[in-house]
Structure formats: C-alpha cells, structure tokens
Amino acid sequence: MNFEHLLIDNNDGIITVTVNRPKALNALNRQVFTDLKNCFEQYKGDASVKGIIVTGAGEKAFVAGADIKEFDGLDAEKGQALSKRGQDIFLQIEEFDKPVIAVVNGFALGGGCELAMACHFRIAEENARFGQPEVNLGIIPGYAGTQRLVRYMGKGKALELLLTADMIDAQTALRYDLVNYVLPKGEGIPKAQKIIAKIATKAPIAVSETIKLVNDYYKSDADGFAGESEAFGRICDTEDFKEGAAAFVEKRKANFKGK
Ligand code: CAA
C-alpha cells in the first residue's frame, strides 16, 4: 500500500513509519491520520512484522502538531468529530499487538506530543522538544494529551506544561519519565531497531498479551488483575509456553512459533 504522507521502510520485519510533510514540520492533517490508520490496520496481525518505529521526516520536527491550517471552519460538532477521530487512530497505535516506539527527532508539539505518547515508549534524540501549546491557540489538546501526559509525568508537571504551553527539552523529558532514552542525533532509530529485534526473540503471544494488559491498567472499566490471571491461564495452554519452559530446563535457546 502507498501512503501520501508516510514513508515506509521494512528492515527484516521492523517497520519504520516516517511522517513526511517536512515543509509543514510534519503537521497532522486529515490525510496523515488516514495514512496512519491504514498503515496500522495493514500491519496488525501480520506475523512477519516485529514492531513499528514512528518518526518524522527532515531535520527539525517529529510532528509539530495538528495542522492548524485545517482548523478554519471548525465548530462544536466538527471539532468533537475531529478530536474523536484522532483519539481513535492514536488508540489503534496504542493497542497495536507488537511494540511501537516513537523516535522523537525534533519538535513534538500538540498532536505530535500526543502521537509520541500513543506509542508504547519513546526515544528522544538530543534536539527533541516536547510541549502542548494548545492554550496559545485558544484551544485544548484533542488527541488525548490531557489524559496521557498525566499518566507519564503526574498531575503537577502535566498541568504546568498544559497551562503554560512551555516546551521541555529531551533531558527534562527523561527526568519527567516521558522518554526512556536520550541519544545523539541519528542514534534513535538504530536503538529502537535493537530493542524491537530483542523483543522479537520472545514468545509473540506473551508479548501481545503483555501490551494489552499494561494498556488495561489505564482503563477505568478493566479489571487488570482478573485480566492478567485469565491471560496467564490462556498462555499456559500455548506451545510457546511449553517450549520456553523446556528450553530453560534443557539449557538451550527457545524456538518460539507464536502458537
Ligand atoms: N500546522 C500547520 N503548519 C505548521 C504547523 C502546524 N502545527 N507547525 C508548523 N507549521 C508550518 C509553518 O506554518 C511553516 O509553514 P510556512 O513555511 O508555509 O509558513 C512551516 O511549518 C515551518 O514552521 P515555522 O516557520 O513556524 O518554523 P519555526 O522553526 O520558526 O518554528 C515551531 C517551529 C515552534 C514548531 C512553530 O512552527 C510552531 O509553533 N508550530 C505550531 C505548534 C503548535 O501550536 N502545535 C499544536 C497544534 S494544535 C494541536 O495539535 C491540537 C490537538 O491536539 C488536536
């Protein structure tokens, strides 16, 4: 499948998805959302895919937010629909069954910070800048920024960022638990590839169940403890569990099949 605003690189099952509108600092217009939706739909359940890296094209930005030039004509009804669509597509990323890592290589503002937060975790390159500047525009985050920012850094720090519209640099994002690593420019993608390749050596069903259960922690209607016991039981019936335990006892490398 071809995408208007995404570049796709498939490196032995590790997919790098690059949002590609560098002249607009990779701002998320409607077509970028359509492309992201189709892209994650296409790869979900594909056994050859080990994981997805999300990054931005060009030297300056990961993604500089929702496309402000598309805001003209928004009213209450259209605004709610725009927000709901963005939230749903970012949820699709969060619920992807393989690891999704954001490599933040510049500005991650507004919807860009929200896209990075929808990924399972984030690697910042040294020039990364994070922020939710929506109050400067007289609006609020619409793609779950008020929710996910609090999860990562806690209420006080999140509210300060949301209310002041200040940007934080990569080292501050690391201190605030928004990112897992800060690396020199150009080292983010190799690091993400290495992490995904490592996870790909583990049992695929155990990996996808773990992602689901950790996501469930944040759902008010999900009983995560019950979900974990139920999934644990289900996994005990898999061939991979038997293979993993046998390989440990026999002192050999496990050969997982995703069954
Ligand atoms: N939407 C549309 N176009 C954008 C954009 C955005 N979010 N961010 C940057 N651009 C465009 C600029 O208009 C400019 O285009 P032209 O050359 O055609 O004028 C081009 O990208 C380069 O940008 P700048 O000249 O502004 O670059 P800079 O280096 O001087 O500044 C910046 C960089 C600080 C990131 C600045 O571009 C900026 O503040 N951008 C807007 C960031 C923002 O407010 N994001 C939140 C959007 S609202 C949102 O995301 C809401 C939501 O959750 C739903």
94 is catalytic: no
Per-residue confidence at 169, pLDDT binned at 50, 70, 90? very high
pLDDT above 70 coverage of the chain, percent = 100
Residue 114 CB neighbours (<10 A) = 27
134 is catalytic: yes
The pLDDT value recorded for residue 219 is: 86
Ligand 1 atom nearest 82 alpha carbon: 54
| Amino acid making up residue 183 | L
CA–centroid distance, residue 133 to ligand 1 (Å): 10
The pLDDT value recorded for residue 223 is: 87
Place of tokens 């609006």: 139
DSSP assignment letter at 5: S
Q: pTM for this structure? A: 0.95
CA–centroid distance, residue 121 to ligand 1 (Å): 24
Structural fold of domain 6-199: 2-enoyl-CoA Hydratase; Chain A, domain 1 (3.90.226)
Cβ 146 vs Cβ 99: under 8 Å = no
Cβ 130 vs Cβ 162: under 8 Å = no
pLDDT digits (tens, 9 = 90+) for 22-53: 999 999 999 999 999 999 999 998 999 999 99
Cβ 15 vs Cβ 8: under 8 Å = yes
The pLDDT value recorded for residue 131 is: 98
Residue-range domain boundaries for the chain: 6-199, 204-250
The H-or-E segment that residue 37 falls in is helix 30-43
pLDDT digits (tens, 9 = 90+) for 198-226: 999 999 999 999 999 999 998 888 888 88
Side-chain-facing half-sphere of 155: CA atoms under 13 Å: 0
Catalytic residue among 77, 114, 228, 243: 114
Ligand 1 atom nearest 167 alpha carbon: 34
Catalytic residue among 134, 160, 243, 250: 134
Ligand 1 atom nearest 110 alpha carbon: 50
Cβ 125 vs Cβ 104: under 8 Å = yes
Pairing of strands 51-56, 107-109: unpaired
* Residue 196: both structure tokens together: 């995904």
| Amino acid making up residue 224 | G
